[in-house]
Amino acid sequence: MTAVSPDLLRRFDVPGPRYTSYPTADRFVEAFGQEDYILALEQRRTGSVAKALPLSLYVHIPFCESLCYYCACNKIITKHHDRAEVYLRYLSREIDLHTAHCGVGQVVSQLHLGGGTPTFLSDAGLRELMAMLKRSFTLAPGGEYSIEVDPRTVNADRLALLAELGFNRLSFGVQDFDAEVQKAVHRVQPAEQVFALVESARSLGFDSVNVDLIYGLPRQTPESFDRTLEQVAQLRPDRIALYAYAHLPERFKPQRRIVSAELPTASSKLSMLSRSLDAFMDAGYVYVGMDHFALPSDALAVAKRQGRLHRNFQGYSTQPDCDLIGLGVSAIGRVGATYSQNSKTLEEYYDFLDQGRLPVVRGLALTRDDLVRRAAIMALMCQGELLYESMEQAWLIDVRQYFAAEIAQLEDMAEQGLVRVGPEGIEVTAMGWFFVRGIAMVFDRYLQADRNRARFSRII
């Protein structure tokens, strides 16, 4: 993949959505509230097709013991673990309100605990959370049950507990192994600690171990990041997520503690990305899409080869396209042709539940055009192709006419060797996979009409 030229990387170094949904979450409106969401839940319960499809669950645990300066997540910094006990009681209420409308025992094939730091919960808290989920939902055998792990909050015994509770996938937040970079972002965790935890996870039989990395952090250089890449190659996780750091201190208060003068230059960031692509390919990883890499034997790489890749609010997934229920403060869900998001503050979240109300504060009911464009964007981002015939049969449209402006806009990308536009459809090339967000942006009606893209991370 050395053919990914610096010129192309530079050209696509622009902000753009990650398309974990379409329309994107910045398009949600406050006019969509609890009543709209309840209607979607009840339609799911009575609809034969939706009812037959398994659910995906996302649970947001907002607490962290210490602040990572780069973080843009919804989190609460505290060392008071009793706050988590209160939070679990309210989560239980929210789960009960959901099952009152969609029924008890619905089958779940995917569960993800995110944050914050899910492993902020005590062993007893983790047991309690899983018990309440299993009381209300049926976790399908062979499902994908994952949790984000801060290596500083677990040891081999805690990993054994996670395995006992049914988790089969772990995601370790590493970001960078360099000690100076770790100090600059206030997240010090020795490489030896991560290596020991990954070894323990393998001995416990977890199906997949993911490692998150970030390039563009303060005090990083292409040379220092090379050393991290070498260590990751030795660690050999099943999956790697490589993210570009987006420095937006005006939006995310923790980032104001980062010394701007210590951030790498744009050319250094591009060099880190280019060298990362080469390093992962040389180490035998498959480029799944966007910022995700996987070993050829991993389920994500297999799903891509077989055309079974899907995408939801947790990123790429092997699970079929299904409804997602988001639980906890700020959690986002998708049920039927709707998106919804919970309140972003604990105070408001608790207040809603004290009133016996679901804490939905905004969302969106998708139009037919939204659904058509979502299908097109997800086809490109997951299967790497948009086949005209299948789109026409599914949506009863003339694709060439419906997307005439978009197809014309792709001509320049075709000249760059990123897509092939033929009589049967649009195909993303091997080179184009590295810029698939940019290709998808062409089909985003809202983005094409609104050139204010600074709120998004950069697409490479």
pLDDT digits (tens, 9 = 90+) for 329-343: 999 999 999 999 999
When comparing pLDDT for 380 and 449, which is higher?
Answer: 380
- CA dist 238 and 445 (Å) reads 36
Percent of the chain with pLDDT over 70: 95
Binding-site residue positions for [4Fe-4S] cluster: 64, 68, 71
Q: Is the pLDDT of residue 151 over 50?
A: yes
Q: Is the pLDDT of residue 50 over 60?
A: no
pLDDT digits (tens, 9 = 90+) for 208-227: 999 999 999 999 999 999 99
> What structural domains does the chain harbor?
1-19+367-460 (1.10.10.920), 20-325 (3.80.30.20)
Average pLDDT (16-35) is: 92
- What is the 3-class SS of 46-93, one letter each residue? HCHHHHHCCEEEEEEECEECCCCCCCCCCCEECCCCHHHHHHHHHHHH
Would you place residue 153 in the very low, low, confident or very high pLDDT band (cuts 50, 70, 90)? Answer: very high
Beta-bridge partner residues of 17: none
Residue 251 has a pLDDT of 87
Binding-site residue positions: 58, 64, 68, 70-72, 115-117, 148, 175, 187, 212, 246, 332
Residue 18 has a pLDDT of 84
Phi-psi sector, 342: left (phi>0), alpha (psi -120 to 50), beta = beta
Amino acid at 113: L
Give the distance between the most distant pair of CA atoms in the chain. Answer: 61
Percent of the chain with pLDDT over 90: 77
User: Taking the model in full, what pTM does it have?
Assistant: 0.91
Q: Is the pLDDT of residue 320 over 80?
A: no
Nearest to 247 by CA among 235, 232, 257, 234: 257
Q: Dihedrals φ, ψ of 72, to 5°?
A: -120, 15
Residue 2 has a pLDDT of 43
DSSP secondary structure letters along 225-238: HHHHHHHHHHH--S
Q: Is the pLDDT of residue 1 over 50?
A: no
Residue 17 has a pLDDT of 85
Binding-site residue positions for S-adenosyl-L-methionine: 58, 70-72, 115-117, 148, 175, 187, 212, 246, 332
- The DSSP symbol for 263 reads S
Q: Is the pLDDT of residue 114 over 90?
A: yes
Rounded mean pLDDT of the chain? 92
